[in-house]
Amino acid sequence: MKLTIIGHWGGYPKQNAASSGYLVEHEGFQLLVDCGSGVLSKLQNITQPEDLDAVTLSHYHPDHIADIGVLQHARLIQGFLGKKPPALPIYSHDFDQAEFAKLTYKDITKGIAYLPNESLQVGPFHIAFLKTNHPVPCFAMRIEAGGKSLVYTADSAFKEEFIPFSQNADLLLCECNFYGSQSGAAAGHMNSLEAGRFAERANVKQLILTHLPHYGTLTELVGEASSEYTGIINLAEEFMSISI
Q: Which residues bind Zn ion (CB under 5 A)?
A: 63, 155
Q: Min. distance of Cβ 95 from Zn ion in angstroms?
A: 17
Nearer to Zn ion, 67 or 155 (CB): 155
Picking from 196, 164, 156, 168, the residue whose alpha carbon sits closest to that of residue 180 is 196
Nearer to Zn ion, 43 or 154 (CB): 154
Q: Min. distance of Cβ 10 from Zn ion in angstroms?
A: 5
Nearer to Zn ion, 79 or 137 (CB): 137
| Cβ partners under 8 Å of residue 18, min gap 6 | 6, 7, 8, 9, 36, 37, 38, 39, 41, 42, 238
Q: Where are the beta strands (DSSP E) in the chain?
A: 2-7, 21-26, 29-35, 54-56, 88-92, 109-113, 120-122, 125-131, 139-145, 148-152, 171-175, 206-210, 232-235, 241-243
Nearer to Zn ion, 85 or 184 (CB): 184
Nearer to Zn ion, 70 or 136 (CB): 136
